[in-house]
Chain A
Amino acid sequence: MDELLNDFIAETRDMAQALSGAIVAWETAPGDRERLAEIFRFVHTVKGNCGFFDLPRLEKLSHAAEGALAEVRAGTRSADTALVDAVLAVIDRIGELVQALETGEAVASEDDEPLIAALSGTPIVPAAPGAEDPPESEAKKAIRSIRLSVDLLDRMMNAVSDAVLARNELARRLRDAPRDIAVEAAFERVSACIAEIRDGITRTRMQRIDSLFAGLPRMVRDLAAELGKQVRLEVDGGDVELDREMIEMIRDPLTHIVRNAIDHGIESAEARAAAGKKAVGTLKVSARQTGNQISIEVADDGRGIDGEALVRSARSAGLLSAEQAERLSPAQKLALIFTPSLSTAEKVTAISGRGVGMDVVRANIERIGGVVDVDSRPKQGVRLCLRVPLTLTIIPALTISAGGQVFAVPRSAIDEILRVGAIRIDTVGAAEIATIRGRRVPLVGLATLLGVAADVADENQRIVLLKPAGGDAYALAVDAVHDHEELVVKPAAPAVMAAGLYAGTTLADDGSPILLLDPSGIAKRAGITLAESELHQVLRDTTEEAEAERETSLLLFRTLAGGRCAVPVMLVERIEDVPAGAISFGAGKLRVAIGDRILPLAGCDAAPAEGKLRILRLTDGISEIAYGFAEVIDIRAVPLDLHPAAAPGEVAGVALIDDVQVELLDPHWLFAAQGDAASETGAQPVCALPEGDPWMESMLRPLVESLGYRVVAAREGVAADILILSEEGEAPSPVKAGQVVRLRARRDASASDDSIYRYDRAALIGALSRRAANGGGHD
């Protein structure tokens, strides 16, 4: 309240000063209508302002003067000297009182009655001596405030913004330059100073929202009286601060909303009583700061907004088709009040039907980056919420690139930043939908929207998940995401704003211009109008398609034991019949000989006595396993719904296929279990042994082969991984060998000998195994 009083005092004093000339002129020419008008305006304003403060003396005085002057204006009274004197005396007294308000002194003369009486024509009683003093008596306290031109403030604000930009550029250069502690310390000091100045200037631009709310009690009182309603006003949060420019822009919309509430919202006392409500309606206006937004709420307990009536109105105005009307949610119906030229008021009253509809209110709020929401319960009331950004000038933003150009996105609208690869994108008709952790949102490509070519391939783009204030979430695909910055944003020229995509312009650290994107504008331009239900319907269809892909192709067969089993078709290389004789138990496992290979055999315990056995040749790409079975049942593609087995084993689990339980083989387990015996179809390492050496042939060869080598005779032109020679032998040339191992007959080795004693099993196996592991094979 103090600040308001100061404003009033300053304003009144200024007006009085400005008026001094007019007063003198009027004194000499009381018939001058213009002077009269000026003086009238002064007392009228003082009287008006007095309404907010408890200043009965001032109110009485100014009211009296106003009345007298009004009569002169109306011509029912002439401005004779006596009247002029009386008016001037009152104005002097007003000046004194205002001065006293400021300094806290008591006014010399307490008695205003003579002055007021003089206005009505009775002769003036000589004023008390105190009145002769000039209004500007020596103040005990210094004047506490100054009035400042907004232009000057703007200049300062611009200069501070420039300082912030210059500081940012300096920071960049310092980062690139070699470190100098002294320079950095000085920079920190400058930085801190600039931050402090910026803070101070921002506060000069900020004003308490009280200046908006202060006019409300009067307006509500007058309106209610005019309309014959009883309204009680509750105001809350007046100490919330807002940029002055913003306050001015909210003033009209707020006024309109309040007027609407009283005119259309709050019912007459009788109607309220009939509805079981208290006769006096309540209008609650409150302001709150949350994060970097201010929300102003106007709530009334009137009759509420009739969504159906709005729909009917829109239908009859041809703005809505029947089916569109069907699909509107309750919230959307309420939102119809923002449609231009739509009104359900029975008559357009002089109060709220001046053509400044809710659409204009919304447009004005949106122009400053705010939103308007409406909520209503029939017969219970309406709540309108205005949300505006905290400051017009410095906005936290994220810089991004699209089509080789850098843009900025207000951070308040950003939900998340993701990679394209991390989400699923479906194309529905011409639109793209992104699924982000189960949540489906429309996808907009920024480069495409702007009509420029994206710099980066689709799959490398980044996704910015946006939720514009009051709008629906959507995903914006951009080429790259850069940095979080605090940007000084200034409005863009109308020709640029006409695009509907931008919220303003700013300068990058390097001084180049950057456009700040408007998330709601982008959504609108991209035509994101899919209603929630439409979205879901469309996606249900695509999801069903996707699920069809998750089926597995299975080969169903009957096992030798008579049960039903299945294995993924892609593992089956071939189905063959093998003679019973090819199956034998050897080296600890059941094996089957096929061609020149021996495969481990699973699926049966022993070879059949006679006849043939049908086998599946299962492959993992490298090795093969044979699986004996009785007969093939079918090949089916089914979605797998597996009930896992209790313990790891040949059977992975049980699934229901065609209402019959089927065991699923666990190929991984099979291959792992048979692994060491699985015959490798890949190339084997080669070992060359000299021909005609009986010891090598009978003693060495089996050992070498058991280690997986293919043994060849060491002849001319043979390539081998390893060549084993006896001590005395010579390498028949040319045998290309990866390694030559020499064997000696004697146990003891001479010092310079690197040969291996031929019965040193460990060393032999060591050399051969190493080579087998390292080498591949020669073909």
Chain B
Amino acid sequence: MTELLLIARLGGRRIAFPASSIEAVVELEGITPAPCAAPHVAGLAALRSRVLTVIDGLAALDLSRAGAEGRDAVVIPCEGHTYALLVEEVEDVIAADAPAAPLAAPVGAGWDRVAIGTVEIGADLFLLVDPYLLIAGPAANAA
């Protein structure tokens, strides 16, 4: 009934991902550029012997890429590839009190595409985000 959520901060907001979709949280040491790749791709990184595709969270939201300061990355496997989603900070993993509530109103430019609900934990309200929609980047949902 209650789901584990990963709480992170991105674009100034505190958001939640379903922990089941997340493999790990890492601090990336270096990002190798991938020239001409999709704009939300920050480059490549290595985790042990695996190549990660690094996604700039802000760029994936189509918000300005203000040079992500944080180095925290959320590792998300998706369709046979492993992605590292750059966020400002990963805060915690918490169990939700109650299931997520659907979105009542538009949540803002860029977020509308990826947000799937809101979650209340204690006194805090978090935006529940679908990590796969986020990874897909802006172009994928152009339709």
Contact = CB atoms under 8 A, between A and B. Distances in A.
Interface in A490-548: 490-496, 498-502, 505-507, 511-515, 525
Contact of B83 (A403, A493, A505, A513): A493
A417 B104 CA distance: 62
Nearest to A164: B49
A292 interface: no
Given A450-B36, A451-B35, A512 B137 contact: no
Contact of A505 (B33, B38, B51): B51
B49 A499 contact: no
Contact of A161 (B49, B53, B137): B49
Interface string B43-65: 01110110101010000000000
Contact of B34 (A162, A496, A506): A496
A513 B41 contact: no
B137 A495 contact: yes
A452 interface: yes
A704 interface: no
A161 B49 CA distance: 9
Interface in B63-116: 80-81, 83
Contacts of B137: 495
Contact of A405 (B32, B48, B81): B32
A601 B43 CA distance: 76
B49 A515 contact: no
B44 to A, nearest CB: 4
Interface residues of A, number: 31
Contacts of B49: 158, 161-162, 165-166, 507, 511
Interface string A181-213: 000000000000000000000000000000000
Interface in A236-263: none
B58 to A, nearest CB: 15
A493 B53 contact: yes
Nearest to A490: B51
Given A507-B46, A515-B44, A450 B53 contact: no
Nearest to A161: B49
B35 A496 contact: no
Nearest to A508: B46
Which of A450, A493, A494, A511 has the most CB atoms of chain B within a 10 A radius of its CB? A493
B53 A511 contact: no
Contact of A499 (B36, B40, B53, B83): B36
Nearest to A514: B32
Nearest to B44: A513
A515 B53 CA distance: 11
Given A161-B49, A162-B49, A450-B35, A495 B44 contact: no
A491 B37 contact: no
Please indicate which of the listed interface residues B41, B80, B81 has the most CB atoms of chain A within 10 Å of its own CB.
B81
B30 interface: yes
Interface in A76-116: none
Contacts of B41: 493, 495-496
Contact of B46 (A491, A495, A496, A512): A512
Given A405-B32, A493-B83, A511-B46, A499 B37 contact: yes
A403 to B, nearest CB: 8
A409 to B, nearest CB: 15
A514 B33 CA distance: 9
Residue from A495, A498, A505, A507 with most neighbouring chain B CB atoms (10 Å): A495
A498 B46 contact: no
A662 B40 CA distance: 73
Contact of B32 (A158, A161, A166, A513): A513
Contacts of B32: 405, 512-515
A487 to B, nearest CB: 12
A513 B36 contact: no
A507 B52 CA distance: 11
B51 A501 contact: no
A525 B36 CA distance: 11
B72 to A, nearest CB: 19
Nearest to B35: A450
Contacts of A501: 35-36
Nearest to A404: B33
B30 A495 contact: no
Contacts of B35: 403, 405, 450-452, 499, 501
Contacts of B34: 496, 499, 502, 515
Contact of B81 (A165, A491, A511): A491
Interface in B110-133: none
A180 to B, nearest CB: 26
B46 A405 contact: no
Contacts of B44: 496, 505, 513, 515
Contacts of B55: 495
A158 B49 CA distance: 9
B36 A495 contact: no
Contacts of A450: 35-36
Contacts of B38: 495-496, 498-499
Contact of B37 (A158, A165, A495): A495
A498 B30 contact: no
Contacts of A403: 35
A698 to B, nearest CB: 86
Nearest to A403: B35
A29 to B, nearest CB: 37
A494 B40 CA distance: 12
Nearest to A450: B35
A568 B75 CA distance: 75
A447 to B, nearest CB: 9
Given A452-B35, A492-B53, A493-B53, A513 B45 contact: yes
B36 A451 contact: yes
Contacts of B53: 492-493, 495-496
Contacts of B46: 507, 511-513
B10 to A, nearest CB: 18
Contacts of A405: 32-33, 35
Nearest to B53: A493
B32 to A, nearest CB: 5
Q: Which of A165, A490, A491, A513 has the largest count of B CB atoms less than 10 A from its CB? A: A513
Nearest to A525: B36
Contacts of A161: 49
A450 B35 CA distance: 6
Contacts of B37: 495-496, 498-499
A162 B46 CA distance: 12
B91 to A, nearest CB: 26
The 6 A-B pairs at the shortest CB distance, nearest first, are namely: A450-B35, A513-B44, A499-B36, A493-B53, A162-B49, A495-B38
6 contacts: A166-B49, A490-B51, A495-B55, A499-B37, A514-B32, A515-B34
Given A158-B49, A499-B37, A515-B34, 4 more contacts: A451-B36, A501-B35, A513-B46, A514-B32
